Amino acid sequence: MSESVLEKKFEISELLDMRILGEVLKSLSDLIALQIRIFDPSGHELFNTGGEDHFCEVIHQADRDDLICRSVREKLLSQPLVGSNAVQILSVCGARYTVLPIMHQFEPLGRVVLGPYQDHGVASSRLEAIAAQYRLDFAKFITDYKNLLEISPDQIKKMARFISKFLDAFVFINTKRLLTSLMHLELMMQSKDQIFQQVEREMKRTPEDLQEIERYKKMF
């Protein structure tokens, strides 16, 4: 077995079938009312369970909404992740997100973003200050904020742990499947080379014979 096959680095698109995985995550998202997004290392969104298009949507009515949403997105996609540990991020609008890595061979394949959801136990004075800072309609801001999922820190940790273990299993299964296919292909190519070497030894080495061998080689 070639070491190059075992050491091959796969892309996230090769290890996660978003069609199959998406059905499971969408059902989970609908069950708990928590938005789930998956991004590759470059920040390209590969999957979204649906919901608000903008990060920090709760203040999307503000004059600086695009700048604010962009800053939230950049923070979520650039926040350093240590090992397989998840981190919680508090956005400027008071909503929280949980970010966790997708790992393969101890290296990050991408990241999962859960949220937004309410900051557990946030004080009303804090929400009032946010509304005043961004010149928002306070009543609408509070209504929009309260429509976000309310979940305890312990519950979100358990949810992140579950999703992380589920993705680990998904990545492991697909890695095993791809490695098996690559090793099978490599064995076939090795057998093909051995066959051609034997044919070359047995055939007369005339120009016609050599041309015929080259023609067969090009078929593989």
Which residue did the predictor score with more confidence, 151 or 188? 151
> How far, in Å, CA of 99 to CA of 210, rounded?
60
> How far, in Å, CA of 60 to CA of 165, rounded?
34
pLDDT bucket at 163, cuts 50 / 70 / 90: very high
Residue 117 has pLDDT above 60, yes or no: yes
* Helix pair 153-202, 18-32: axis angle to 10 deg: 170
Q: Look at residues 145, 122, 119, 156 and name the one whose alpha carbon lies nearest to residue 60.
A: 145
Residue 133's pLDDT is what? 85
* Same-domain pairing of 161 and 95: yes
Residue 212's pLDDT is what? 59
* Same-domain pairing of 166 and 195: no
* Same-domain pairing of 51 and 75: yes
Residue 152's pLDDT is what? 93
Residue 1's pLDDT is what? 46
User: Is 1 within the bounds of a domain?
Assistant: no
Residue 56 has pLDDT above 80, yes or no: no
Percent of the chain with pLDDT over 90: 32
Per the prediction, the chain carries an average pLDDT of 79
pLDDT bucket at 160, cuts 50 / 70 / 90: very high
Residue 11 has pLDDT above 90, yes or no: no
If one counts the domains in the chain, the total is: 2
* Same-domain pairing of 184 and 155: no
Answer whether 86's CB lies under 8 Å from 168's CB: no
User: Is 47 within the bounds of a domain?
Assistant: yes
User: Quick count: other Cβ atoms within 10 Å of Cβ 189?
Assistant: 11
CATH code of residue 122: 3.30.450
* Same-domain pairing of 79 and 184: no
- Percent of residues in the chain assigned helix, strand, coil, to nearest 5: 55, 15, 30
* Same-domain pairing of 56 and 152: yes
Domain that holds residue 101: 7-176
* Same-domain pairing of 113 and 191: no
* Same-domain pairing of 160 and 187: no
Residue 94 has pLDDT above 70, yes or no: yes
User: Is 148 within the bounds of a domain?
Assistant: yes
* H or E element at residue 178: helix 153-202
- In whole angstroms, how far apart are CA 62 and each of 46, 69, 91? 28, 10, 15
Strands 107-118 and 95-104: antiparallel
User: Is 22 within the bounds of a domain?
Assistant: yes
User: Is 2 within the bounds of a domain?
Assistant: no
Residue 125's pLDDT is what? 92
